[in-house]
Copies of this chain bind each other. A is one copy, B any other.
Amino acid sequence: MSDSFYAVILAGGRGERFWPLSTAKRPKQLLSLVGGRPLLVQAVDRLEGLVPPERIFVITNADLVDVTREAAPALPASHIIGEPFGRDTAAAVALGCALVKERDPNASFCVLTADHIIKDVDAYQQTLRDGLALASREDVLITIGIPPTEPSTGYGYIEAGDLYSEDMDTHFLKTDRFVEKPDAETARRYMAAGGFYWNSGMFIWSVRALEQALEAHRPALAEMMRDVSPAVGTDRFSAALKTAYDKLDKISIDYAVMEKAANIVMAIGSFPWDDVGSWQALENHFDVDEHGNVMIGDARGLDAARNVVVSEGRLTAIIGVTDVVVVQAAGATLVCARERAQDVKKMVEQLRKAGGYDEVL
């Protein structure tokens, strides 16, 4: 492992899609939905042998810093940084870049997600390793694209172009464009046409290349980096961060940089990857019983088929229902038609408006 390889893990988010198990105080990345440990801890552990804990930074919400430090004790507490308010991914990435730069201005780093499920750690590390090596050599902005296994409408896509480099295990392609989440028809067309990859939200670049890109395409973020850098590691940091963030607009790193810069390269990520976007997605990661049910925790069924049941702490019994998601958590119980799992966020919004549910949201 190279001393100049760093990782920034984005671990913000309010966890609304996995309500009521996830709450503002216990968002998705801190849940052990799959794999027995919090997703964030798995994201850290997946870097073992490539990037050691002392070169990993986690960017989360200010009010999640304490629980995140508790959940990931292997990381230095000072490497878990809370944003004073959410300014979308571009700000978080720029903040991570400032932190890495303070340690090593010549570093390269990957930007990783805290709440996805990734299997085949060897293949994953190979992609990161090759990407970091390329980013150390050339001023490219690397995004990781995942070969689609189904015509998903839940992901954005990257349309890739010609081969950029194949001198490593990982293949790198030039990119033609980033496209928003497509409708079902378009997604099928992408699959059939080939050359389209899922936008994983993971990136690799050098501090220098990213800073140049921010300066060129989103100077406010480069300015934020300059504003907070002198305060890193001092007790002025929180205040400096707040002042700097206050000036920022919300924008994603895709909009701010990736769709504008010319030096974009896509690494093909040939490892199983799932952003686990809703309760329904859990079924891809658990054994189903003979009736097609996924039953997690203390759950029992009678003549019930194709349900996803997650029962925390107490028994959940289902009788004669099909295609339903049932989640029993400490604060509330959710019963949701399977095809409506994306609408859990709407319910959370409804409850927030109704008021009186702060404790369970």
**Chain A interface residues toward B at CB < 8 A:** 20, 300, 302-303, 311, 314-321, 324, 326, 328, 331-337, 339-340, 343-344, 346-347, 350-351, 354, 357, 360
Closest CB pairs A-B (n = 6): A320-B337, A320-B340, A315-B332, A319-B336, A318-B335, A316-B333
With a CB–CB cut-off of 8 A, which chain B residues contact A318? Answer: 334-336
When the two chains form the complex, which single residue of B314, B328, B340 contacts A319, counting CB atoms closer than 8 Å?
B340
The answer for the CA separation of A318 and B264 in the assembled complex, in Å, is 44
When the two chains form the complex, which single residue of B335, B339, B340 contacts A335, counting CB atoms closer than 8 Å?
B335
Let me know if B302 and A314 touch, CB within 8 A: no
Instruction: Name 27 A/B residue pairs within 8 A (Cβ), A-sorted.
Output: A300-B347, A300-B350, A302-B347, A302-B350, A303-B343, A311-B333, A314-B331, A314-B333, A315-B331, A315-B332, A315-B333, A315-B360, A316-B334, A317-B332, A317-B333, A317-B347, A318-B334, A319-B340, A319-B343, A319-B344, A320-B340, A320-B343, A324-B324, A324-B335, A326-B333, A328-B328, A328-B333
The answer for the CA separation of A287 and B189 in the assembled complex, in Å, is 49
The answer for the CA separation of A333 and B303 in the assembled complex, in Å, is 17
Q: Which residue of B lies closest to A19 (CB)?
A: B317
Let me know if B343 and A302 touch, CB within 8 A: yes
With a CB–CB cut-off of 8 A, which chain B residues contact A340? Answer: 303, 319-320
With a CB–CB cut-off of 8 A, which chain B residues contact A331? Answer: 314-315
With a CB–CB cut-off of 8 A, which chain B residues contact A337? Answer: 319-321
With a CB–CB cut-off of 8 A, which chain B residues contact A350? Answer: 300, 302
The answer for the CA separation of A339 and B319 in the assembled complex, in Å, is 10
Let me know if A319 and B300 touch, CB within 8 A: no
Given contacts A300-B354, A319-B340, contact A332 B347 (CB under 8 A): no
**Which of A302, A326, A335, A360 has the most chain B CB atoms inside 10 A of its CB?**
A335
Let me know if A314 and B343 touch, CB within 8 A: no
When the two chains form the complex, which single residue of B316, B317, B334 contacts A317, counting CB atoms closer than 8 Å?
B334
With a CB–CB cut-off of 8 A, which chain B residues contact A320? Answer: 336-337, 339-340, 343
**Which of A20, A303, A319, A344 has the most chain B CB atoms inside 10 A of its CB?**
A319
Let me know if B317 and A20 touch, CB within 8 A: yes
Let me know if A335 and B326 touch, CB within 8 A: yes
With a CB–CB cut-off of 8 A, which chain B residues contact A343? Answer: 302-303, 319-320
Let me know if A333 and B333 touch, CB within 8 A: yes
The answer for the CA separation of A314 and B319 in the assembled complex, in Å, is 21
Q: Which residue of B lies closest to A321 (CB)?
A: B337
- 5 new A-B contacts, CB < 8 A, other than A316-B334, A326-B335, are A302-B343, A302-B350, A303-B343, A317-B333, A324-B335
**Which of A300, A315, A337 has the most chain B CB atoms inside 10 A of its CB?**
A315
